[in-house]
């Protein structure tokens, strides 16, 4: 009996009648498993000479039978490469598919099945277990945070109680001093009271004696006796007590807090969690630096390819040309032209919403992490917001400058606005302003060492490392500034003339920018440090690309200044 693979989940029997051996082989022409001996017998038959017999695990997967809707008697067995739709043989002969290239749908289906089967083990054996390990680590971190914070609370209470004891001791000592001062003052007053009392007794005695002299019968005796006592002793001198005063301590809450301990929060940037590498991973064709180098090994397996595959094409109704695109969800996109029309469409090209805005053919709209639309009115210097669940459009931010480009961060909800202001007949100024997701001003990015960073910031986006990337058609360069608002680098293209327009970044940190140089436009891809990686060129060529955006699956959406067609490409290896 043929050997059975160790990883087999069940025994596949030979499809030949009365043969009970292991079906290690498979005939793609007959859709039948067979053992090696039956394979040899099978191929000896003249009618089977051209049959494709392969290892069972490499077999073509039989396509499910599906009837054509237009021709119910025909099976769907072809794939139109241009239209990316399944067809029957009768559909393929119609004029709408003239000169189109077709693929065997069964082969295409089988190749995709093999791709899926190759992906499943990595999901089950690597991605899910690794993610669960991360989840366990996060839970452990949560418990550690709780323990640390509870210990910190206890220390704060102990510190405060000790402070209270010191305050109580100081209060007791002050009260004792008050008692001593009071006792001393009362003793002095008691002594003065005794002196005055003795003086009053003396006066009363003198008063009686004088009265007795006046009542005496002999005048001579009165004169003789009284002459000795005519002088009255002076009133004794006494002093007023000087009472003490108390000056209350005047302490602010901050001064009291300074006497206690301090909570120190480490401002160091959190370290990325380590993710074990997928064993089948290979490194990228180009080494990346800085923060991008810290991305997971799984992400780094993908790199941009010079050739791209078009996976979808759709026509946007209501606009003539496509100057800017904003991904709403995986199934919706906002698109605008240079005439003030802003349209939401699904991936089948059905219009869902339409808004009339001011005329500007730049990146003036964006979609927030909550799927709310935000767009700028350059003429009235107002930024409007349209909530996903509401039809009304309401003013969100008012400015003194002209808002010409806008981007909503999906990291923290912050809103970046490229602005311009005319300062004279031929002079203007430009900057990028960051607002919170609630519309409050945070800060501006304006100059670097007294040098203006921007001239015409027509398109703006944010990279995974926090860099703000601006496509500036006035300076003819891509200006990149870090989170600290410091200029990192400027990219000036690969040709003598560089006309940057639409710009976006993907989940790997690539910066993707349109170079709309007349009919020879390209799409440039650079890394997080401004190093050129590649030009993207599709099989049918890229002409006058003006707008780009990437969804969360790294599908690249490209709009053109010459039509209302969006092409969707796969561009990563």
Domain endpoint, select from 108, 133, 153: 108
Listed residue (457, 507, 450) closest to 478, CA to CA: 457
Strand partners, 329: 332
Does any domain span residue 58? yes
Q: Does residue 282 surpass a pLDDT of 60?
A: no
Domain endpoint, select from 108, 134, 153: 108
* Residue-wise pLDDT tens digits, 385-444: 998 776 788 899 999 999 999 999 988 889 999 999 987 767 789 999 999 888 889 899
* Residue-wise pLDDT tens digits, 77-117: 898 988 888 999 889 888 888 889 898 888 888 777 767 76
* Residue-wise pLDDT tens digits, 329-384: 768 999 999 888 999 999 888 999 999 888 787 999 999 988 899 999 998 999 99
Are both 62 and 99 inside the same structural domain?
Answer: yes
> For residue 480, what is the domain's CATH number?
2.120.10.30
Q: Where are the alpha helices (DSSP H) in 447-508?
A: none
Listed residue (396, 444, 394, 448) closest to 421, CA to CA: 444
- The span from the CA of 42 to the CA of 49, in Å, is 9
* Residue-wise pLDDT tens digits, 184-230: 999 999 999 999 999 999 999 888 888 877 776 655 655 655 555 56
Q: Of 175-189, 270-284, 538-552, give the lowest mean pLDDT range.
A: 270-284
Does any domain span residue 298? yes
- The span from the CA of 48 to the CA of 496, in Å, is 61
Q: What pLDDT, on the 0 to 100 scale, is given for residue 221?
A: 59
Are both 159 and 68 inside the same structural domain?
Answer: no
Are both 383 and 428 inside the same structural domain?
Answer: yes
Residue pointed to by tokens 């009919």: 519
Does any domain span residue 147? yes
Are both 237 and 297 inside the same structural domain?
Answer: no
Hey, what long-range contacts does 28-33 have (CB within 8 A, 24 or more apart)?
A: 28/52, 28/53, 28/54, 28/59, 28/60, 31/62
The pLDDT mean for the chain works out to: 82
pLDDT band at 36 (very low <50, low <70, confident <90, very high): confident
Bigger pLDDT: 543 vs 16: 16
Q: What pLDDT, on the 0 to 100 scale, is given for residue 444?
A: 93
56-65, 253-262, 464-473 — most confident range: 464-473
Does any domain span residue 280? no
Q: What pLDDT, on the 0 to 100 scale, is given for residue 517?
A: 64
Domain endpoint, select from 182, 215, 242: 242
Are both 346 and 477 inside the same structural domain?
Answer: yes
Are both 307 and 212 inside the same structural domain?
Answer: no
Q: What pLDDT, on the 0 to 100 scale, is given for residue 118?
A: 67
- The span from the CA of 53 to the CA of 23, in Å, is 12
Does any domain span residue 251? no
Q: Does residue 489 surpass a pLDDT of 60?
A: yes
- The span from the CA of 362 to the CA of 366, in Å, is 11
- Under DSSP, is residue 519 helix (H, G, I), strand (E, B) or coil? helix
Range of the structural domain that residue 143 is part of: 109-242
Does any domain span residue 165? yes
Q: What pLDDT, on the 0 to 100 scale, is given for residue 539?
A: 46
In what order do the strands lie in the sheet containing 382-386? 365-367, 373-377, 382-386, 394-398
Does any domain span residue 9? no
Close Cβ partners of 177 (under 8 Å, ≥ 6 residues apart): none
Are both 194 and 315 inside the same structural domain?
Answer: no
Q: What pLDDT, on the 0 to 100 scale, is given for residue 8?
A: 39
Tally the domains of the chain.
Answer: 3
* Residue-wise pLDDT tens digits, 118-161: 677 777 778 888 888 888 888 888 988 998 899 889 988 988 99
What are the φ/ψ torsions at residue 319 (nearest 5 degrees)? -130, 155
């Amino acid at each position: 009996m043929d050997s059975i693979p160790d990883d087999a989940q069940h025994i596949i029997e030979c499809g030949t009648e009365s043969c009970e051996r292991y079906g290690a082989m498979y005939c793609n022409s007959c859709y039948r498993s067979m053992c090696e001996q039956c394979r040899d017998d099978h191929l000896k038959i003249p009618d089977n000479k051209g049959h494709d017999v392969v290892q069972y695990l490499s077999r073509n997967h039989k396509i499910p039978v599906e009837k054509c809707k237009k021709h119910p008697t025909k099976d769907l067995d072809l794939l139109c490469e241009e239209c990316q739709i399944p067809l029957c043989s009768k559909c393929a002969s119609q004029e709408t598919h003239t000169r189109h290239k077709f693929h065997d749908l069964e082969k295409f289906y089988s190749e995709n099945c093999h791709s899926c089967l190759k992906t499943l083990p990595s999901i089950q054996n690597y991605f899910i277990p690794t993610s669960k390990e991360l989840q366990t680590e996060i839970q452990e971190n949560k418990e550690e945070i709780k323990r640390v914070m509870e210990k910190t609370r206890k220390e704060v209470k102990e510190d405060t109680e000790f402070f209270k004891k010191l305050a109580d001791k100081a209060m007791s000592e002050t009260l004792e001093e008050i008692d001593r001062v009071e006792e001393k003052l009362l003793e002095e007053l008691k002594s003065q009271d005794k002196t005055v009392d003795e003086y009053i007794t003396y006066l009363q005695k003198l008063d009686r004696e004088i009265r007795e002299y006046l009542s005496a019968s002999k005048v001579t005796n009165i004169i003789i006796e009284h002459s000795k006592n005519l002088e009255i002793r002076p009133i004794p001198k006494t002093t007023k007590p000087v009472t003490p005063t108390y000056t209350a301590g005047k302490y602010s809450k901050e001064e009291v807090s300074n006497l206690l301990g301090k909570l120190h929060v480490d401002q160091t940037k959190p370290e990325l969690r380590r993710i074990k590498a997928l064993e089948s991973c290979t490194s990228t064709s180009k080494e990346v630096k800085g923060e991008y180098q810290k991305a997971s090994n799984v992400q780094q397996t993908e790199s941009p390819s010079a050739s791209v595959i078009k996976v979808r094409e759709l026509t946007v109704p209501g606009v003539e040309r496509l100057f800017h695109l904003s991904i709403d969800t995986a199934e919706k996109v906002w698109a605008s032209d240079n005439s003030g029309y802003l349209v939401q469409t699904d991936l089948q090209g059905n219009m869902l919403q339409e808004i009339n805005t001011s005329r500007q053919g730049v990146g003036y709209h964006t979609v927030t992490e909550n799927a709310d639309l935000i767009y700028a009115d350059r003429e009235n210097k107002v930024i409007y917001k349209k909530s996903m669940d509401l039809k009304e459009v309401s003013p969100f931010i008012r400015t003194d400058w002209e808002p010409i480009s806008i981007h909503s961060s999906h990291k923290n909800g912050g809103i970046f606005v490229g602005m311009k202001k005319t300062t004279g007949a031929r002079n203007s100024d430009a900057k990028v302003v960051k607002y919170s997701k609630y519309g409050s001003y945070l800060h501006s990015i304006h100059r670097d060492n007294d040098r203006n960073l921007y001239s015409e910031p027509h398109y703006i986006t944010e990279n995974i490392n926090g860099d703000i990337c601006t496509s500036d058609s006035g300076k003819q360069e891509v200006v990149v500034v870090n989170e600290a608002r410091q200029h990192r680098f400027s990219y000036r293209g690969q040709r003598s003339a560089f006309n940057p327009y639409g710009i976006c970044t993907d989940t790997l940190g690539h910066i993707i920018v349109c170079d709309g140089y007349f009919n020879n436009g390209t799409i440039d891809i650079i890394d997080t440090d401004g190093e050129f990686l590649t030009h993207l060129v599709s099989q049918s060529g890229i002409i006058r690309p003006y707008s780009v955006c990437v969804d969360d699956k790294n599908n690249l959406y490209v709009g053109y200044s010459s039509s209302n067609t969006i092409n969707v490409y796969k561009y990563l290896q």
